[in-house]
Amino acid sequence: MPRILDGAAIAAAIKQEVAEEVKLLAEQGIRPGLAVVLVGHVAASEIYVRGKAQTCAELGIFSEVVTPPETVTTQEMLDLVASLNGREDIDGILIQLPLPAQVDTKALLDAVSPSKDVDGLHPVNAGLLQAGRPALAPCTPAGVIEILKRSGIAISGRHAVVVGRSDLVGKPAAILLLHQNATVTICHSKTQKLGELTRQADILVAAIGRPGFITPEMVSPGATIIDVGINRIASREEFDRFFAGDQKREATFAKRGSVIVGDVHPKAFELAGAYTPVPGGVGPLTIAMLMANTVRAAKMRRGL
């Protein structure tokens, strides 16, 4: 039977470690602070932001949610970021995406001070990460590494195949795996003979944003599969393609009208030696690593 890598348990352990660090900083008169900028009213984003604010409160981190209106301009957002950059009580700035069409997202992300860029998206942090120097790494890829290391999955010398090349997950995941001495292959939707490459993977990271994209024929028996994808499916046809006969998922689909599936077809997990489920795998690590990044930013800014 494949081993299920429990992301929720690993995230809980990381958050406990963060809470202990926050207590130590409090003894020095320091309280890490996180500002989350949420534009307009996007239901999914509001849920995510509430979760982040609640976790901050649980761990002793100061948090502030700033809510500009849907009509906000790029200049108004730049002014807001500039004010947050200048605040000593704010160590991390997170801009919840997506932003309205009239806002220049790239300009806004670039305006965040690299020392407060807890999402790890600033070009300066991307460069430091690539160079192997201290930097704030994107939360989800950092969480992937934590899952592997804390689950006792060997990385050094293994062949890791990353499917997906986004700046948020695919590229930084590949770099972090390289820093752990894996041999890394990056693939994407235009890669020819993709299955031949994914079947070579000891560690297969699926981060392409397509439901069930990695099929059983693309997996080597015994591989460790890290499924980063979170895709909501709401049609009966799609449900039957992934979960036919799964009574637990059937009940969820009947109740909510949709279910979540990752970038890996559920049948592919049966071939794995170990895998992260969806939900309950990589997802919980993202907020945990955001908290860790906020504390790290607080320490780095003070030379600790």
Tokens of 120: 């790890």
In the chain, the amino acid numbered 271 is: L
Given a contact cutoff of 8 angstroms between Cβ atoms, the answer to whether 55 and 287 are in contact is yes
As a whole number of angstroms, the distance between CA 228 and CA 91 comes to: 27
Question: Which DSSP category does 8 fall into?
Answer: H
Residues linked to residue 45 through DSSP beta bridges, in sequence order: none
Please state the length of the chain: 304
In the chain, the amino acid numbered 180 is: Q
Tokens of 275: 């895998």
Given a contact cutoff of 8 angstroms between Cβ atoms, the answer to whether 163 and 204 are in contact is yes
Give the DSSP H/E element, type plus range, for residue 260: strand 259-261
Measured from the Cβ of residue 304, the count of other Cβ atoms closer than 10 Å reads 11
Tell me which residues are annotated as active site.
52, 96, 119
Tokens of 53: 């604010």
> What residues have CB less than 8 Å from 223, skipping those under 6 apart?
201, 202, 203, 204, 271, 272, 273
